[in-house]
Amino acid sequence: MMSIKVFVAGHQGMVGSAIVRQLESRAGVDLVMRTRAELDLTSQAAVQTFFAAEQIDQVYLAAAKVGGIHANNEYPAEFIYENLMIEANIIHAAHLADVQKLLFLGSSCIYPKLAEQPMKEAALLTGTLEPTNEPYAIAKIAGIKLCESYNRQYGRDYRSAMPTNLYGPGDNYHPENSHVIPALLRRFHEAKQLSIQNSKLNIKNSPDEVVIWGSGKPMREFLHVDDMAAASVHVMELDGAIYKENTEPMLSHINVGTGIDCTIRELAETVARVTGFKGQLTFDSSKPDGTPRKLLDVSRL
């Protein structure tokens, strides 16, 4: 059996590494990966040289600059610029190198802030985006439209999958740019450790509290990253006729999620219980909530 060369862009990230885990055990798959030091995906020349040399058959485009509300607020220019450059460079270079199949991984933040719930793929571009992550969302929408445009003009088979909020191995726990689950895990764990330390030192009246941005009312859907990776491979391997039958040429992305959500308060209470934090949870309503609800309609999948 002939092997296929598969390039996983962003293989060291949470999504990319999960896709690598899915593909490693498959016969006939020759994985191609490059670190950021080895290949700058924001450099058009470097990316085109790479594709011309490697003769890639399939691409999983999981590389992206990601972060939570704080990071999106602080660095909007970096989020839109880097993501646009990565997507445009890889998709265009793949086309020039005659790569027929590509899967672009996006985000559920592409949908309008007040989209009808659960959000169908048809909700795309029907309303105003959530301001706190608009630059990132616009970049992800551009990735979908790049794929659709290359399919339309050049007959490519470039597909898009839009995952819900992800968690799992390889997640980012940085205090400034992590997403909600790792951010809460870190904060509750650190608060618990501080409480234990204060108790040992017999420090009285020390604050035993975790303050969480927002009201706690927004609802979010969560999916384990390994389940997302399995769905990504499934979408990539779908027969072309079946994929086209279940999508539309200019609305071709597929939502990937569980169809179940919970409030941020419920999530925080769960994390507090799991980490063993016994202190007080305080919600700071002066901070932004973000989108009120983000539940995907996953009927296409």
Residues labelled catalytic: 136
The answer to whether the beta carbons of residues 42 and 88 sit under 8 Å apart is no
Rounded to 5°, the CA angle 247-250-256 comes to 45
d(CA 37, CA 173): 22
Angstrom distances, CA of residue 14 to CA of 7, 19, 76, 168, 226: 16, 9, 21, 8, 9
What single string gives the DSSP state of each residue in 177-205?
T--HHHHHHHHHHHHHHHHHHHHHTT--S
Strand pairing report for 219-224 and 293-294 = parallel
CA 81, CA 49: separation in Å to the nearest integer? 21
